[in-house]
Structure 1
């Protein structure tokens, strides 16, 4: 692996390249904080895909793309005389030191949960009015639900045992079923949301990241369905004209390959 000197030289090279691009490249010169935003979101999702695929080479590439965006934002910030890359690094360093008094202070902790609880309490002391202020409004709903539950658990608002959460899931399912029988669509939607919220909470208790779990299932379904499409086509069959039983035959084959 590279030495710390090599690492700093590589970062310095990237900063120099960013200076050149901002000065000489028409596209790079035109970009703003706002114009980069959606591109940054895309790059973050590409990194997330690479992590799910456990593709270390691709992870390295995608991390480079994300790092480029950080450097780009820092360059624009320096042009506005608002902040630069040093301000960004110093700000996060100071936050990490302040939020880890068990490392840089005299606070004692016994486990990860106590670290998380201290983290949320420190954020409130820093002036946040709510532990939920740090949850971005634009997060996808599933990810947002997971972050909400994780944050309130950090200040002790949580179930004690997994079986209690599973019981809550069962209660929400029963309420959903009752509303389905009544046929009120608005209430059905509300109860369905409660079921999802409780399932996401249960995932946390059994050590499952719900976003990762669902995305892996998405990928598995895509692979299986594309197998169905490909092999039925090879056999000269039109998918739109096949019976469900015929489709199931290919589907069951795909399940042996994509588990």
Structure 2
């Protein structure tokens, strides 16, 4: 086994390691990868990091966060390595680009702009971002200031962002009650589609329900993506506890009736609530 470089913590060492993995005598798996084939790993590693970020504070969170940040960094360096191999850009270019962006978008820190609070910082950021986009659209058709221009994101998060954008454009419900009424309206239309409609109509109405739920979350000042992640964890924890209880009773899970499983579900719920 080769000795681990003493300067492994340095970015230069990481870049050299990734280049070696992609080299003639490198790793077959790494050598086969493309930007496209790595897409799923970028998503997975980012989601694993997000999950750790929501851990309770403590040594375990810090350790896991360090590991997951490293995995995300590896993805960044690997994509930069692929790009450098075809002469597109290098990791140095990536770092320079984000450094320049931070300098431009923080004139209240690196310039003479004065701000009163974080809300003004966000407004300035949006204005600077808008100006940057306009400057790069040379020869292209002008984009309407009322266009949504919401970036590609996971579907639930994008629905939330779309709502934030339409809110700024004064196309929104006045309060959470209005959003709640819309949710109920969409549920009624979904039920009608399930009872009498086609598969396509059911899909469309279910999409409307999910979108309206994201907007209700927004009006309640809650992030729907975060809420669903926590809901997933809650369900998984309760399900695993339910199976654990059945095993402790010497019961074969597969042989249980649905009624018996429901009883274990309720028991698991009560135990976890008592924690």
- TM category (shorter chain) comes to 0.7 to 0.9
Aligned to 2:208: 194
The alpha-carbon deviation at position 111 of structure 1 amounts to 4.5
Query: Which residue of 53, 56, 62 maps to 1:56?
Result: 62
Aligned to 1:124: 130
Aligned to 2:186: 172
> Could you tell me the TM-score, scaled by structure 1's length?
0.78
Aligned to 2:226: 212
Aligned to 1:247: 261
Q: How does 1:1-259 map to 2 (within 5 A)?
A: 10-23=10-23, 24-27=25-28, 28-54=30-56, 55-105=61-111, 107=113, 109-125=115-131, 126-127=133-134, 129=143, 132-136=148-152, 139-153=153-167, 157-177=171-191, 179-180=192-193, 183-185=196-198, 186-259=200-273
Structure (1/2) with the larger helix percentage: 1
The alpha-carbon deviation at position 67 of structure 1 amounts to 0.5
Instruction: Pick closer, same or farther for the CA change 1:157–1:231 going to 2, 3 Å.
Output: same
Q: Which runs of 5+ in 1 are unaligned?
A: 1-6
The RMSD of aligned alpha carbons is 3.2
Distance 2:177 2:115 in 1: 27
Counterpart contact for 1:232–1:250, Cα < 8 Å: yes
> Could you tell me the TM-score, scaled by structure 2's length?
0.74
Q: Which runs of 5+ in 2 are unaligned?
A: 1-6, 138-142
Distance 1:245 1:206 in 2: 36
The alpha-carbon deviation at position 93 of structure 1 amounts to 2.0
User: For each residue in 1:113-161, what CA deviation from the matched residue of structure 2 results, as whole angstroms up to 9, or x when unmatched?
Assistant: 444444444333323636644522xx43222212322344455554453
Counterpart contact for 1:117–1:156, Cα < 8 Å: no
Equivalent pairs, count: 250
Distance 2:62 2:11 in 1: 20
The alpha-carbon deviation at position 75 of structure 1 amounts to 2.1
